[in-house]
Structure 1
Amino acid sequence: MTEPSSPSYSIVDPAIVRTLPKVVLHDHLDGGLRPQTIIDIAAATGYDGLPTTDADDLEKWFFDAANSGDLPTYLTTFDHTTAVMQTKDALVRVTREAVEDLAADGACYAELRYAPEQHLAAGLSLQEVVEATVQGVKEGEKAVADDGGRIHARLLLCAMRHADRALEIAQLLVDNYGEHSPGEGYVVGFDIAGAEDGFPPSNHVAAFDLLRKNLIPVTVHAGEAAGVESIADGLRQGAVRIGHGVRIYEDIEAEMSGLELGKVAKFVRDRRIPLEICPTSNTQTGICDSVEEHPFNLLYDLGFTCTVNTDNRLVSGCTMSGEMVKLAEAFDLEYWQLLELTTNALETAFCDQPLRESLEREVIYPAYAELGDAMDIAVDEATGAAAASGIDALHGEHLHTHGVGAEEVELSMENLKAELEQLGLNLDDDDEVGDAGDASQ
């Protein structure tokens, strides 16, 4: 009788990924509503602009409308979500449900971002908008805890980059920053969002100056609809993370000896500026046609600090688990690499260090260690070698090495050429490719 085969962990299992703890840094509050919630609030507030009042059909409409291939069209889908987020009750509900939904997908830490200036149509003040979302986060955390789970959620305030209220939003953030403010420690950072091309971060110098003076961390949307200069401009304004940022690949040149990183790309990589990568969203806004063609693998192999995010769960029809699985399937990632992406995010989150250490020690590492123990790493009877255990069991034979200080990043010629061709970069077939890590120095 043939013995049943052992479970394979060489390819990630979507069911297992859903159980693993996750950290999301880039999730828009107005891009992740439940379809039924939109319908309920629209009915209660008299908003009659929805394309349909069937929840399943509405969910499909958002996803189809978002697959336009460009950012401006993609952003039009938010007209409906923001329209139903104009009252205190609506903001509390939407925020609470976002926290609950992320926790149900395994998130143990989440940063939700939104633009307070977009929620004033029914008479709320900017401060009342912030206080409603803080209440929603607290209710969401409590609901998850009451159900036996654990999640910590924080809020980022966005200024709309095409508007002129960035300084006002920066001051709102200063007023709500810290445990002893009305924000109660839940409001932790600043962002600029909206149409990127033609609206550089430097349009809002005064806002960034105020935030720097008050030691408040900043991330900016950059390298999505605009290129490398947009990223550089955000860095000059003090950004310590880059929302999306994937067009940094445009600052990487293919030379006969390998890859040469430009000034901005070297700074981002060497200073470990995190890229808040949102794979599905990037395909919808025209950065690439599919996740398989995404520049993630090139950036990861070259040592950039990559994180995985949802961007807009409703609009992009995605979850954190799904995004991780898509990347794993497209680029042969293993569980230890999912752990690396998760810890990359936590290390660069805008939370305090005690919370970061608590999540690592009590949630993230124990879950991955348990997974490692469950993996069928058999004792080699021929040599008597002991099986690996815990997190060590997640590491196997790998095609390349990766990490801070790695002297060598090995890419096969075939894979390297394929990645470069997808990004519009080419190497002469007759030339030998040198070591990619050395060439980028």
Structure 2
Amino acid sequence: MADPTAETPAPINSDSVRRAPKVLLHDHLDGGLRVGTVIELARECGYDKLPTTDPGELAAWFLGAAHSGSLERYLETFGHTVAVLQTRDALTRAAAEAAEDLAADGVVYAEVRFAPELHVEGGLDVDAVIGAVLNGFRIGTEKAAARGQRIRIGALLTAMRHAARSREIAELAVRHRDVGVVGFDIAGAEKGFPPTRHLDAFEYVRQQNAHVTIHAGEAFGLPSIWEAIQWCGADRLGHGVRIVDDITVEGDGGTPRLGRLAAWIRDSRVPLEMCPTSNLHTGAAPSLAEHPIGLLTRLRFRVTVNTDNRLMSDCSLTSELTDLAETFGYGWDTLQWFTVNAMKSAFIGFDERLALIEDVIKPGYAALRGT
């Protein structure tokens, strides 16, 4: 007999998914600015290379450039956002607005990454860059809390894989880990710049009992993933979509067979920071229906759902989850599973992760399910 006290589950749409408590592990600070902020900061610092200063036209330009099917073309869009983030005030503003925007989207925990080495053209040193961003996160978190929106944000420090400052950035990540930095990352074009070029940085981070996530398996294939995991000791994989190259499915609906690397990653519960819309834009997947996240979710890899670059891809975590639910028929149980996967995989302490899962995430989804 049905429980007469049970409520009807909320329909899955953008409004209801926005109310769901969500967790975001892969989001770039310089890829998530408000378009109006880009224009205002450009005017303040005298940057005159924006394609347009009309907000609607600029938003369309970012999306069009990002949706080129090329990771290299996608990365070019960051030339504009990085150019306007060269002062302490600009970095603090961007970080504060990121915290507020994510909280307004129902994100209760986020790890936002940025590359300190990209923000020193205006005379700041890397410590000042980090301090400005962390201050912004504090300001934005407090403003969100005043509106009743709870969010916890950790920073990930990114080193550029084509540069030679990874050991320095790794040391910065360890130095600032007690004031808001939760881990270390490398990013940039994968092809020609394997993660093993930065082995000393990864070894240092691991020796210091700190955390590592590596962009791998986005535009390049299995060798990038294998090096990131087996040589560099990544705790998580940024994207990791190309792990499907090690999975064979015979015919339509056949039983998938996992190669040794795919099986190891699934068995070891290595988190995959999947960014569906961004992957479509960079050509890593031809359509959402054909995105590897469908197969990887069915095979119960530790899949997490992320935004990557909210400005360039015109997305939010709400839109990502809503689109996945519509495309693959996912219900609240699967959306909760994505969220718990992410919270389990966060680079903060076990007690805090467990408290967010038990006290915030599970009750939030139970209310939406009507249970």
TM-score, shorter chain, exceeding 0.5: yes
Q: Secondary structure at the match of 1:361?
A: helix
Q: Give the Cα separation in 2 of the matches to 1:63 and 1:366.
A: 36
Any unmatched runs of 5+ in structure 1? 1-6, 179-183, 374-389, 391-441
Question: Residue 258 of structure 1: CA displacement?
Answer: 2.8
Q: Which amino acid aligns with 2:314?
A: G
Q: Which has the higher contact order (CA 8 A, sep 6+)?
A: 2
The 5 A counterparts of 1:71-220 are 71-178=71-178, 184=179, 186-220=180-214
Q: Which amino acid aligns with 1:42?
A: A
Q: Is the CA contact 1:10–1:334 (under 8 Å) kept in the aligned structure 2?
A: no
Q: Give the Cα separation in 2 of the matches to 1:81 and 1:10.
A: 38
Q: Give the Cα separation in 2 of the matches to 1:155 and 1:75.
A: 21
Q: Is the CA contact 2:8–2:369 (under 8 Å) kept in the aligned structure 1?
A: no
Aligned-pair Cα RMSD in Å: 1.4
Q: Which amino acid aligns with 1:168?
A: E
Q: Which amino acid aligns with 1:244?
A: H
In structure 2, the residue matched to 1:384 is none
Question: Residue 8 of structure 1: CA displacement?
Answer: 7.5
- 1:278 maps to 2:272: no
Q: Secondary structure at the match of 2:333?
A: helix
Larger Rg: 1
- 1:55 maps to 2:55: yes
In structure 2, the residue matched to 1:265 is 262
Q: Give the Cα separation in 2 of the matches to 1:279 and 1:155.
A: 22
Question: Residue 214 of structure 1: CA displacement?
Answer: 0.2
Q: Is the CA contact 1:11–1:333 (under 8 Å) kept in the aligned structure 2?
A: no
Q: TM-score, normalised by structure 2?
A: 0.95
Provide, for residues 249-305 of structure 1, a one-character-per-residue CA deviation record: whole Å limited to 9, x for no partner.
Answer: 000123587322111101110001010000000001111222111111111111211
- 1:342 maps to 2:336: no
2:359 counterpart (354, 357, 362): 362
Task: Give the share of equivalent positions with the same residue, in percent.
Answer: 50
Q: Give the Cα separation in 2 of the matches to 1:170 and 1:55.
A: 37
Q: Give the Cα separation in 2 of the matches to 1:39 and 1:297.
A: 37
In structure 2, the residue matched to 1:42 is 42
Q: Give the Cα separation in 1 of the matches to 2:211 and 2:111.
A: 13
Any unmatched runs of 5+ in structure 2? 1-6
Q: Which amino acid aligns with 1:218?
A: V
Q: Is the CA contact 1:11–1:334 (under 8 Å) kept in the aligned structure 2?
A: no
Q: Which amino acid aligns with 1:200?
A: P
In structure 2, the residue matched to 1:418 is none
Q: Is the CA contact 2:28–2:309 (under 8 Å) kept in the aligned structure 1?
A: yes
In structure 1, the residue matched to 2:243 is 248
Matched pairs, number: 362
Q: Which amino acid aligns with 2:52?
A: T
Q: Is the CA contact 2:29–2:95 (under 8 Å) kept in the aligned structure 1?
A: yes
Q: Give the Cα separation in 2 of the matches to 1:193 and 1:297.
A: 25
- 1:299 maps to 2:296: yes
Q: Is the CA contact 1:160–1:192 (under 8 Å) kept in the aligned structure 2?
A: yes
Q: Is the CA contact 1:219–1:241 (under 8 Å) kept in the aligned structure 2?
A: yes
In structure 1, the residue matched to 2:284 is 287
Question: Residue 18 of structure 1: CA displacement?
Answer: 1.1
